[in-house]
A = this chain, B = another copy of it.
Amino acid sequence: VPRGNPAQTRQQLIDAGVRLAHRRALTGLTVDDVVGAAGVAKGTFYLHFRDRAEYFVTLHRRFHDDVMKLVQEAILSAGSAGTQRLLAGSLAYLDGCRRDHPVKALLIEARVEPAIQAEVARQNARFAKRAALEFAAAGWPAAEEAARLWVGLVAEAALAEAESGAVLPGIRDALARFLHT
């Protein structure tokens, strides 16, 4: 029984979850799966996370933070507020999702898995709030509502690309067109 490095073990558990979520459903992801893939004992899992739910939240937050960093950069270098900038941010989001993450699981199943519902709802709301500013700047009448729907649109686009495993120019063009761009 080697002493081990706690931070590293924790990272192994998270990496294992990400790896597994690439392949299968988040909902069906069990603690046994995770510890099996991470190569640690079951008890170790509970040394690092209070329970399964906390682990899922960690997984999702990790994903979200990574992607949002990209979005932030895109927005900053995209000029003034409006649908152009919104589109730039949204395309950056698609790119971030494509890069190396278990998108399908985290986008769709996240909404169902009770463990992370609250977390996802909060982050979606933040995204929508941000988008609403851009819609308002572009002069859309129902900016808040448009923003909420836009979140659904972008999620659907990310899902489409995740399923095909490639960038889908047609999808991205359609996104732009919905924005009247």
Is A168 an interface position by the 8 A CB rule?
A: yes
CB of A70 closer than 8 Å to a CB of B? no
**Of A3-11, A34-42, A52-60, A138-146, which binds chain B?**
A138-146
Copies in the complex: 2
Give bound CA distance, A153 to B155, whole Å. 10
Q: A25-B112, A27-B112, A112-B25 are in contact. Are A148 and B156 (CB under 8 A)?
A: yes
Of B25, B141, B156, which is within 8 A of A149 by CB?
Answer: B156
Residues from 159 to 181 in A contacting B, C-beta threshold 8 Å:
159-160, 168, 170-171, 173-175, 177-178, 180
A111-136 residues with Cβ-Cβ distance < 8 A to B are 111-112, 114
- Tell me the minimal C-beta distance from A171 to chain B in angstroms: 5
- Secondary structure at the A interface, as helix, strand, loop or mixed, is helix
A76 near B: Cβ within 8 Å? no
Check A141/B111 contact, CB under 8 A, given A178-B146, A180-B180: no
Please name all residues of chain B whose beta carbon is closer than 8 Å to the beta carbon of A174 when the two chains form the complex: 140, 142, 145-146, 148-149
CB A137 to nearest CB in B, in angstroms, measures: 15
Q: How far is the CB of A52 from chain B (nearest CB, A)?
A: 15
Taking the complex as formed, is A95 at the interface, i.e. its CB lies under 8 A from any CB of chain B? no
Can you spell out 6 A-B residue pairs with CB atoms less than 8 angstroms apart? A108-B112, A112-B112, A145-B160, A145-B171, A149-B157, A152-B152
